[in-house]
A and B are shown apart, each in its own frame.
Chain A
Amino acid sequence: EAQVTQNPRYLITVTGKKLTVTCSQNMNHEYMSWYRQDPGLGLRQIYYSMNVEVTDKGDVPEGYKVSRKEKRNFPLILESPSPNQTSLYFCASSLSGAEQYFGPGTRLTVT
C-alpha cells in the first residue's frame, strides 16, 4: 500500500531536549516536505527536499533541521525544542508536479 508514515504520532517533551520525527514514504517520490499546522494559520511549509542530499528552507524553518540521506526518508530534527514549536506536524511526498500525499501527522507538545 502506498503510504507516508511518521513516528511518533504523539510526543510530549521538555524545552531543550533534542528530538527527531521520522518520515518515510514507499512511493519512490522525489519531493518531500514538512509542514506545521497551527490553529487559524493553516499549514505552513518548514523544509523541503527535491531529492537525495538536496534540501532547502520553506516559510518557517527557524528551529528545525532536516536531512535526506535516502530517497524514502526525510527526518525532522528539533535540536532545542521550545514551547512555540508545539504544533501538529505533517510530512508529505509527491512526484514532480503532482498531488501531495500526507503522513498521518505528529502532535508535538513542548513544555
Chain B
Amino acid sequence: AQKITQTQPGMFVQEKEAVTLDCTYDTSDQSYGLFWYKQPSSGEMIFLIYQGSYDEQNATEGRYSLNFQKARKSANLVISASQLGDSAMYFCAMRDWALTGGGNKLTFGTGTQLKVEL
C-alpha cells in the first residue's frame, strides 16, 4: 500500500528566508508521481509542483523546487524567499502509475501548516 508521511505538523519561517517541508513516501512500485498542493485558509487546493519517478532532474516552478531523493524515498518541497502569502497548509501526495484501480487516485499526507512571519 502507498503511504505519504509529513512529520512536521507546523512550521514557522521568517519572510524572505527559504523553508523546506518534508515528505517521505512508501511504495513498492517503480513508476509513480509526486505532487505538492497548497491549501490557503480559503480552502481551495492549489497545485504547486510535480515530480515523476523517472525524472532525472529535480522539478522547479518559480520559487518552488522539489528535492527528490529516490533512494531515500523523500520528496521535500523547498520554498525560496518566503512571502506572507505563502502561509498555508501544504500537502504532499503520490500517484502510483502502476495502480490499475483508483482512477488516478492521489494518496495524501496529513499536511504541514506553514506560517510566514515578518
- Seen from chain A, the residues whose Cβ lies within 8 Å of a Cβ on chain B are 31-33, 35, 40-45, 48-50, 56, 58-59, 88, 90, 92, 94, 96-102, 104-105, 107
Residues of B in contact, count (CB < 8 Å)? 22
- Seen from chain B, the residues whose Cβ lies within 8 Å of a Cβ on chain A are 4, 35, 37, 43-45, 47, 50, 91, 93, 95, 97, 101-106, 108-111
Q: Are B103 and A48 in contact (CB under 8 A)?
A: yes
Q: Are A45 and B45 in contact (CB under 8 A)?
A: no
The dominant DSSP class at the A interface is strand
In the complex the two chains form, what is the Cα distance from A98 to B47 in whole Å? 12
Q: Are B101 and A56 in contact (CB under 8 A)?
A: yes
Q: Are A42 and B91 in contact (CB under 8 A)?
A: yes
Cross-chain contact of A97 among B45, B91, B97, B111 (Cβ < 8 A):
B97
**Nearest-neighbor residue (CB-CB) of B46 within chain A:** A102
Q: Are A102 and B44 in contact (CB under 8 A)?
A: yes
